Amino acid sequence: MEFQPDFRHIVQAASNKKSERLPLYEHQINNEFIEKVIDEPIIFDEKDASTMRHAYRQLCAFWKEMTYDTISFEAGICPMLPDHGAISGGRPGPIQNREDFARYPFDEIPEIFWDHWTPHLEALKAELPPGMKAIGGCGYGVFEISEDLVGYEKLCLLMFDDPDLFAELYAKIGDLMMNLWKTLLQKYGDLFAVCRMGDDLGFKSSTLLAPETIVKYIVPQYRRIIDLVHSYGKKFLFHSCGKVFPIMEAAIDAGIDAKHSNEDIIAPFEEWIEKYGDRIALFGGIDMNLLCMEDPKTIHEYVLEKGKQFRDMASGFAIGSGNSIPDYIPVEGYLAMVDAVNELRKN
Amino acid sequence: MEKLQQLAESVINGKAPDAERLTQELLDEGLTPSEVLNQGLIIGMDEVGRRFRNNEFYVPEVLIAARAMKSGMKILRPLLAETGVKPMARIAIGTVKGDLHDIGKNLVGMMLEGAGFEVVDLGVDVSSDKFIQAVKENNAEAIGMSALLTTTMVNMDSTMKEIEKQGIRNQVKVIIGGAPVTQNYADEIGADGYASDAASAVALLKEVLNLPA
């Protein structure tokens, strides 16, 4: 029988309730990966509505075929920033000092953003299958945007060399994000079952800035966006990689409803559930390394065992990789995970 | 000596102008470059490493400390060379082939320099050949490989195999680190050690090279 998506399952999970059907969730599935699975190219052309609709028809069909209730979609902010790219390393960002900050064309970004993303959102709106909604929103988080504008190492130095500019930068990024999120919710809010921000704040052993710095400068900007999302009656999912335990209380206090991203080398998923499962939903659970390195049989058995355990332990839970599905994940391993989730659903 | 303590404090607090001034003053007062380095700057960076390991310091604090250390080293380096003082050892570091992430590798480089090692930074996307070249041509006594991605981590294994194939395994120690890397993986590929963070890399390198802690 054909799978019928029902976004209400993931809304239930994000509300920290046990959903009637265990939802599958991914932060992102890389387009090249999807092309490998469907054996067709996916072409995006912002100037050609029919090509764009075809691309989103393919994407929606893939997510439905893989038995997701939602399609992950983000209108990415960083790629729309003039002269961006420092987030990937190897080059300085366009803002290195106060003069650069004063000159930077923040006011032009919304127009650039909507020129690019409106055709995508219109195509998504036209092609969403019955019962399916998107999960996402404006892509990239407060810290990631600052990394892209300044560069991580320079940003660290800026904090000491010009603390006023450091503070103003985060307020400005918050203003920009609020502008974009407001329009997104006004025009396309109905497309989204759950809203989401991804902001990688940590690495293997710590956070990328001191927790008190994150709480002082970054979390207040989260709070503004979370309040806005909540005012539209939607739940807010926070995705953040790395060892971010020291800022989790502040993130929960700011109003996040759910958290995604986990790496077993930092902490087993059970630890996330034990620490926070009584207050927020937890999405993910299946470590990326497992999906990369293990054979399909091992993955299938692991997902069956751990998926049941996580669902029993957590209130709100959606299962999927601890991060995302990039193009280097073996297709067979990914399909073994999806297959195991469907077996779990039957039981 | 109180001024050496002040120099160490200037590194710990990331005060580059103070570190530069105090380095010069200590030299003017008759201390040797080695004494200023070992009893001032390195003592400061050791403490920075300890605090980083204990999550009392974060990357920004390490970066400003390394900047302060560099401002002192700018004065000391030519004097150390003149007097024939050799670095503790030479290590070539790089992010492995296919991987462009450099933050972790840069931090390791800063901490190692801060501990008195000479660091040859091979950059990102470093092939096996480049690591081997660093051993053969730059006489690197150790190699440090970093990877952020599970898929690029496997290039550590291929570099280890190439080192063996080239017959230079007994000339060089290999240490590895990065997000997906574990001690098990280090054992599996035959590396000499794994460090979970930049500060631990200093202790590890001293250990594998049999240098005093």
Residues in B closer than 8 angstroms to A263, CB to CB, are: 179
Interface contact flag, B150 A160, Cβ < 8 Å: no
> Which residues of chain A are under the pLDDT cut of 70?
none
Q: What is the pTM of this model?
A: 0.92
- Helices and strands in chain A, H and E counts: 15, 7
Distance from CA of B199 to the nearest CA of A (A): 11
Query: Is residue A1 a part of any domain in this protein?
Result: no
pLDDT reported for residue B150: 80
Distance CA A125, CA A37 (A): 23
pLDDT reported for residue A246: 97
B124 vs A90, A265, A293: nearest CB: A90
CATH code of B2-82, in short, is 1.10.1240.10
pLDDT reported for residue B114: 87
Interface contact flag, B64 A160, Cβ < 8 Å: yes
Give the best residue of B10, B12, B15, B59 to mutate against chain A (max A CB count within 10 A).
B59
B102 vs A90, A157, A213: nearest CB: A90
Name the residue in chain A with its Cα closest to that of B101.
Answer: A89
Distance from CA of A132 to the nearest CA of B (A): 32
Q: Could you tell me the CATH number of the domain that includes residue A234?
A: 3.20.20.210
Instruction: Render pLDDT for B37-89 as a digit per residue (tens, 0 to 9).
Output: 999 999 999 999 999 999 999 999 999 999 999 999 999 999 998 888 888 89
B197 vs A205, A265, A328: nearest CB: A205
CB B95 within 8 A of CB A90: no
Residues in B closer than 8 angstroms to A265, CB to CB, are: 179-180, 182
Name the residue in chain A with its Cα closest to that of B64.
Answer: A157
Residues in A closer than 8 angstroms to B151, CB to CB, are: 292, 328
Compute the 3-state secondary structure of chain A and give helix, strand, coil in percent, each to the nearest 5.
Answer: 55, 15, 30
Compute the 3-state secondary structure of chain B and give helix, strand, coil in percent, each to the nearest 5.
Answer: 60, 10, 30
Sequence-ordered list of residues with C-beta below 8 angstroms from that of B7, at least 6 positions apart, any chain: B19, B22, B23, B26, B36, B40, B41, B44, B72
Interface contact flag, B60 A160, Cβ < 8 Å: yes
Q: Which two tokens stand for residue B59?
A: 């990357």
Interface contact flag, B180 A289, Cβ < 8 Å: yes
Name the residue in chain A with its Cα closest to that of B197.
Answer: A205
Distance from CA of B64 to the nearest CA of A (A): 6
pLDDT reported for residue B149: 80
Residues in B closer than 8 angstroms to A204, CB to CB, are: 179, 196-197
Interface contact flag, A265 B179, Cβ < 8 Å: yes
DSSP for A175-214?
A: HHHHHHHHHHHHHHGGGEEEEEEE---B-SSSBSS-HHHI
CATH fold for domain B90-208: Rossmann fold (3.40.50)
Query: Is residue A205 a part of any domain in this protein?
Result: yes
| Domain range summary for chain B, segments of one domain joined by + | 2-82, 90-208
The strand ranges marked E within B61-195 are 90-95, 118-121, 142-146, 173-177, 193-194
Whether residue A208 lies within 8 A of chain B, CB to CB, comes out as: yes
Whether residue A43 lies within 8 A of chain B, CB to CB, comes out as: no
pLDDT at B12 over 90: yes
Instruction: Work out how many CB contacts closer than 8 A connect A with B.
Output: 63
Confidence of residue B148 (pLDDT cuts 50, 70, 90): confident
pLDDT at B151 over 90: no
pLDDT reported for residue A167: 98
pLDDT reported for residue B117: 93
User: For residue A72, what are the β-bridge partners?
Assistant: A135
Could you say which residues from 157 to 196 on chain A have a Cβ atom under 8 Å away from some Cβ of chain B? Answer: 157, 159-160
Distance from CA of B121 to the nearest CA of A (A): 14
pLDDT reported for residue A50: 97
Interface contact flag, A209 B180, Cβ < 8 Å: no
pLDDT reported for residue A276: 98
Distance from CA of A95 to the nearest CA of B (A): 18
Strand order in the sheet with B193-194: B118-121, B90-95, B142-146, B173-177, B193-194
Interface contact flag, B60 A210, Cβ < 8 Å: yes
Whether residue A267 lies within 8 A of chain B, CB to CB, comes out as: no
Task: List the domain range (segments joined by +) for residue A320.
Answer: 8-346
Q: How many domains does chain A have?
A: 1
The CA R_g of chain B, rounded to the nearest whole Å, is: 17
Distance from CA of A280 to the nearest CA of B (A): 26
Distance from CA of B61 to the nearest CA of A (A): 8
Distance from CA of B190 to the nearest CA of A (A): 19
- pLDDT, average across residues B138-161: 92
Rounded to 5°, the CA angle A146-A150-A152 comes to: 80
Interface contact flag, A153 B14, Cβ < 8 Å: no
pLDDT reported for residue A228: 98
Residues in B closer than 8 angstroms to A153, CB to CB, are: 63, 103, 106
Distance CA A208, CA B107 (A): 12
Whether residue A328 lies within 8 A of chain B, CB to CB, comes out as: yes
Instruction: Render pLDDT for A223-260 as a digit per residue (tens, 0 to 9).
Output: 999 999 999 999 999 999 999 999 999 999 999 999 99
